[in-house]
Structure 1
Amino acid sequence: MAQHLNVQLVAVEEKVWSGEAEMVMARTTEGELGVLPGHAPLLGQLADSGQVRIKLPGGKQVVYEVAGGFLSVNERGVTVLAETATPASASQGN
């Protein structure tokens, strides 16, 4: 099992962010979802507005405000396909 996730955050017209992460958190229509390495495959619909938080190795976070779209988890990693994705006011450390 990999210790990191390969993450792709894509908006309608461009790749917004890609890289390795320890965890991805997003709000779906079913509620808040956290994805760690080894997570079962799934496809979730993102809530109309919310945040995608990507926890990087070392503890820092990259945070994007997203509106609509989907989150896909498979054996290769996590792909977030958002209608819009803009950086939150500041990246946060934990």
Structure 2
Amino acid sequence: MAVLSVSVVSASHEVWTGEAKQVVARTVEGQIGILAGHEPLLAILASGEVRITLENGEKIVAQADGGFLSVEHNSVSIVAGAASLVG
């Protein structure tokens, strides 16, 4: 099964990076779910949670304060003005 390479960064530091099977985030146009094989995408993030599901089912949650989300070749990059892990 193909996986996603995910990177969540803020303006000042890397928040989380690793492999996942799913990413769910809120854009200014609504919530979006990303799985392996997703079409290339560039979206503006709304403030809110970014939920990352790892291959083993574990969930990582980050709070992002706006920014953008980019998807290309099973790679998801989330760049936020401010972001931090929740929990």
User: For 1:46, what is the secondary structure of its paired residue?
Assistant: strand
Number of corresponding residues: 87
Percent of pairs with identical residues? 46
Report how far residue 76 of structure 1 moved: 4.5
Q: Deviations over 1:61-87 (max 9, x none)?
A: 100111010000001510000111111
2:81 aligns with: 83
Q: Deviations over 1:2-34 (max 9, x none)?
A: 611000101001111100000000000000000
Q: 4+ residue stretches of structure 1 with deviation over 3 A?
A: none
Query: Is 1:18 the counterpart of 2:4 in the alignment?
Result: no
Aligned CA RMSD, in angstroms, stands at: 1.0
2:36 aligns with: 37
Q: Residues of 2 paired with 1:43 and 1:66: CA distance?
A: 16
Q: Residues of 2 paired with 1:76 and 1:55: CA distance?
A: 14
Give the alignment's TM-score, normalised by structure 2: 0.95
In 1, are the aligned partners of 2:15 and 2:85 still within 8 Å (CA)? no
**5+ unaligned residues in a row in structure 1: which ranges?**
none
**5+ unaligned residues in a row in structure 2: which ranges?**
none
Structure 2: which amino acid aligns with 1:66? A
Q: Residues of 2 paired with 1:44 and 1:9: CA distance?
A: 14
In 1, are the aligned partners of 2:3 and 2:74 still within 8 Å (CA)? no
2:7 aligns with: 8
User: For 1:57, what is the secondary structure of its paired residue?
Assistant: coil
